[in-house]
Amino acid sequence: MTRVFNFSPGPATLPEPVLRQAAEEMLDWHGSGMSVMEMSHRGKEFMSIHAETEDLLKELMGIPANYKVLFMQGGAIGENAIVPMNLIGATGKADYVLTGDWSKKSYKEAKTYGQVNVAATGEASKFTALPKQQEWKLDPGAAYVHICSNETIGGVQFHWTPDTGRVPLVADMSSDILSRPIDVAKYGLIYAGAQKNIGPSGLTIVIVREDLLGHALPVTPSAFNYKVQAEADSMYNTPPTYAIYIAGLVLKHVKKLGGMKAVAQHNEEKAAILYDFLDATAFYRNPIAKEDRSRMNVPFWLKDDALNDAFLKGAQERGMIQLKGHRSVGGMRASIYNAMPIEGVKALVQYMKEFERQHG
Ligand SMILES: *Cc1c(COP(=O)(O)O)cnc(C)c1O
C-alpha cells in the first residue's frame, strides 16, 4: 500500500491512525456485530458515539456551557443561507466582511433574507490582505457580523479576533477550525463543514450561543432551525452518523497529540517551512500580506504559467497530489491541514527546489 501526500483543499487528508481504526471497526463496532453505518441513530451504541464526539469537541475547543454544539448537514454553503435564516430576524440587518471568494459567497446568499451590508472589504488589495479593523464600518443595529476566518481559495487568514462590540461575531471556520486555540466566547456562532480538518464531508458543525436561538424566519425549514435542532440534540432528522463517528476518531487523535496548542505549533512549523522557502526564491511567488497569510492553504505561482503542467506532473510522480490552484485564480495551492505531516511539506519544498533548478 502506498499513501500519497494529499494537498487537497477538501475533502482532505485524514490522519492514518484514524483510517486504520475505522477499517478495523468497519464490520463490527465494539462487539455490536454491526458497522457504525448500520446503527440506528437512536440506539445506545450510536448515542454514545454522538455524545462522546460532542464532549470531545467541547473539551478541545473549550466551548463554554452557554453554547450549543449542533451536528447538521448542508455544508458551509448551506450555512450561508441557514445562518441568516436563523439570526437576521433579530433586527433584520447583518454586516458582512469580504475577504475573498468564500465570504463574498456568504454575503450574496444572505441578501435573500434581510438587509445585508458590506462592513469592510479587502477588494482594494485584490483580497491579498485583510481589511484593517479601523476601516470597518460596523452597524450597531446589525443582528450579527459575518467573517470567514480562513479564505481557503485566496489564502488569507485572521490571526486576530475582530471586535464587534455587542453585535455577535459569526465565523465560517470551515478550513481552519481545530487548527489552533480560539476563544469561543468571542463568537456568537461558528460554523464549519467537516471535510477539511475534522472528518469526511456530510457533517456540518455549528457552535451557537444559546441566547441567539429563537429568531428564525418563518421560512426556515425545521431541519435547519437551530433551536429545533438544539432541543432535539441534533436528532430532529437523522444526523450524518458515519461522518460523526469519524469526526470523533479524529478528535480523539487530536487530543492524543496534545490538543489545540500542540496542533497549532505543528501547523505553524509546517507553514513556516513553506513560506520561508517561497520568500527566498524569485521562481515562486505568494502575494499575500505576511501578517495575513493562511497556515492552512498556501497559494503560490510559478514564474511562468507555461510550466504549471510539468510542475503538477512531476509532483504526481513523486506522490504529491492535488496541488493545482483553484480554477478561479490558477497557479498552485498547497493545503496543509492538521493531518498533513511535516514530511509532506518538506517533500514538497524539496521538489520545488529541484524543479526550480531544472527550469529556473
Ligand atoms: C470548503 C469551504 C466551503 C464550502 O463548503 P461546502 O461543504 O462545499 O458547503 C465554505 N467556506 C469555506 C471557508 C470553505 O473552506
Judged by DSSP in three states, 331 sits in: coil
Whether 42 has a binding-site annotation, put simply, is yes
The string of pLDDT tens digits covering residues 320-350 is: 999 999 998 999 999 999 999 999 999 999 9
Tell which one of 82, 102, 106, 337 to mutate to probe ligand 1, the residue whose CB is within 8 A of the most ligand atoms.
Answer: 102
Q: Cα(296)–Cα(157) distance, rounded to whole angstroms?
A: 9
The string of pLDDT tens digits covering residues 10-58 is: 999 999 999 999 999 999 999 999 999 999 999 999 999 999 999 999 9
Ligand 1 centroid, distance to 232 Cα (angstroms) = 25
Tell which one of 71, 96, 174, 337 to mutate to probe ligand 1, the residue whose CB is within 8 A of the most ligand atoms.
Answer: 174
Query: Hey, what's the cell of 264?
Result: 497549532
What would the CATH number be for the domain defined by 258-359? Answer: 3.90.1150.10
The residue ranges of every structural domain in the chain are 17-256, 258-359
Q: ∠ CA 315-179-16 to the nearest 5 degrees? A: 55
Ligand 1 centroid, distance to 321 Cα (angstroms) = 20
Query: What local confidence, expressed as pLDDT, does residue 216 receive?
Result: 98
Write down the architecture of domain 17-256 according to CATH. Answer: 3-Layer(aba) Sandwich (3.40)
**Residues at CB less than 6 angstroms from ligand 1:** 10, 75-78, 102, 148, 152, 172, 174-175, 193, 196
| Mean pLDDT along residues 251-270 | 98
Whether 197 has a binding-site annotation, put simply, is no
